[in-house]
Amino acid sequence: MERLQKVIAASGLTSRRKAEELIVAGKVKVNGEVITELGYKVNDNSEIEVDGLKLNKEDKVYYLLNKPRGVVTTTHDDKGRKTVIDFIDDNRRIYPIGRLDYDTTGVLLLTNDGEFANYMMHPKNEIDKVYIAKINGFLLPSDIMALKKGVVIDGVKTDKAKVKVRKIDKQNKTSIVEIIIHEGRNHQVKNMFKTLGYEVLKLKREKIAFLDLKGLNSGEYRPLNPKEIKQLYALTQQKNTR
């Protein structure tokens, strides 16, 4: 038996918080009966209807994609551009966990497990994301320290980051920089460098937690194995119990 809002969130239909709001508003039915109690528990056989939509029970799936450049991180694009979903051969309702920009490449996770997605995206769980950025110019020591301590974007300071210059190209006046963050704000890495006067020319997400792109060419994907899924859940739970 599991709490109703947890089951709704796990289906990927909406977040747990939104599910709770829908329950309180009387928009959720279980076996034909309107439920407004947040502590209400359901089992695998319960028929759940959310705002007129029947919840379909599907096996949970988890994929790791090496996202190519020029692909949008969404389930559907009104402009007809290729989406990350187009690369996954699965008819279930899967969606990306977080977002990578149109011109950003690298590690992207996709799933139909809403609870897992929320755990992975929430900043409090501090899931490391490793990015490799090609920038114009050379990072000053003071700018490296600023990135490490956090910079202010739209009035909010970023959390501490780990920063390392991997390579300097004096001829082309560019640098390759590794930066590790655990937040996921819109265009965050690009904006962190922009705040200090640098332009990100190329950006690749190399790792999420312990997951990397080993064995995957651009546009290729693979399912996560049970051990990896268990390890990721353990990481988020470890942060929650600190």
Per residue in 123-158, pLDDT (tens digit) is: 788 899 999 999 999 999 999 999 999 999 999 999
The CATH number linked to 108 is 3.30.70.580
Claim to verify: residue 197 and residue 138 sit in the same structural domain:
yes
pLDDT tens for each residue of 101-113: 999 999 999 998 8
Together in a domain, 92 and 146:
no
Residues 165 and 196 reside in one and the same domain: yes
Whole-model pTM: value is 0.79
Instruction: With beta carbons less than 8 A apart as the criterion, state whether 193 and 200 touch.
Output: yes
The per-residue pLDDT for 232 is 93
- Which candidate, 103, 131, 73, places its Cα nearest to that of 201? 103
Catalytic residue (choose from 77, 101, 143, 154): 101
Could you tell me which residues come within 8 angstroms of residue 179 by beta carbon, excluding any fewer than 6 positions away?
130, 131, 133, 147, 161, 162, 163, 164, 189, 192
Start-to-end CA distance of the chain, whole Å, equals: 27
Residue 86 and residue 192 in one domain:
no
Q: Percentage of the chain surpassing pLDDT 70?
A: 98
234 and 219 co-located in one domain: yes
pLDDT higher than threshold 80 for residue 7: yes
Whether 156 and 189 map to the same domain: the answer is yes
Rounded to an integer, the average pLDDT of 26-50 is 92
**Other CB atoms closer than 10 Å to residue 238's CB: what's the count?**
11
215 and 168 in a common domain: no
Q: What confidence category does residue 242 fall into, taking pLDDT thresholds of 50, 70 and 90?
A: very low
Q: Same domain, yes or no, for 10 and 47?
A: yes
pLDDT for res 138: 97
pLDDT at 10: 73
Residues 139 and 187 in one domain: yes
Whether residue 97 is found in the same domain as residue 84 = yes
* Domain total of the chain: 3
Strand partners, 50: 28, 53
Q: Buried (b) or exposed (e) across 61-76, using 16+ Cβ within 10 A?
A: ebbbbbbeeebbbeee
Could you identify the residue written with the tokens 């990397």? 212
Task: Return the bridge partners of 167, or none.
Answer: 176
Q: What is the mean pLDDT of the chain?
A: 92
**Structural domain that includes position 196:** 128-208
117 with 163, same domain? Answer: no
Give the per-residue pLDDT at 239. Answer: 56
Domain of residue 7, CATH code:
3.10.290.10
Which alpha helices (H) appear in the chain, and where do they start and end?
4-10, 16-24, 114-121, 141-149, 188-195, 226-240
- Tell me if residue 101 is catalytic: yes
42 and 16, same domain (yes or no): yes
- CB 123 within 8 Å of CB 222: no
Cβ atoms within 10 A of the Cβ of 118, count? 18
